[in-house]
Amino acid sequence: MARRCQLSGKQSGFGAQVSHSHRVTKRKFQINLVERRVFLEDENRWVRLRISARMLRTLNKKGPKAIISKYKMDPSVLKAAKALSAKPAPQAKGSAA
């Protein structure tokens, strides 16, 4: 799974590590991801999200609805989490041909 925030889309950045002697090497700046459960009051259910620590602070302040509307995102991110927890319906054994 990619290291990406499910709400904001923030992901790893790239840059240079500069030593004392000024040798430059490539490096990666990882984001601080945390996995949290968020309660959706509209749908009366919990959703598990991998979000950045910064987005978690914003989520606690403004709430999930405000975040979704601000980033103009499709609530499918939250529905995808629901699909993981839902059990598939049993299929019929016989076929009508």
Residue 77 counted as domain residue: yes
Residue 33 counted as domain residue: yes
CATH number at residue 77: 2.30.170.40
pLDDT tens figures, 38-58:
888 888 888 888 999 999 999
Q: Cα separation of 7 and 70, whole Å?
A: 10
pLDDT of residue 90: 52
pTM of the model: 0.62
**Total domains, the chain:** 1
pLDDT tens figures, 69-87:
777 665 665 565 544 445 4
Residue 91 counted as domain residue: no
Q: Which residues are within 8 A (CB) of 80 and not within 5 positions of it... i.e. 6 or more apart?
A: none
Task: Quote the domain boundaries for residue 18.
Answer: 13-82
Residue 87 counted as domain residue: no
Q: Cα separation of 91 and 87, whole Å?
A: 12
Average pLDDT, the chain: 79
Q: Which residues are within 8 A (CB) of 67 and not within 5 positions of it... i.e. 6 or more apart?
A: 7, 55, 58, 59
Q: How is residue 54 written in tokens?
A: 């910064």
pLDDT of residue 97: 46
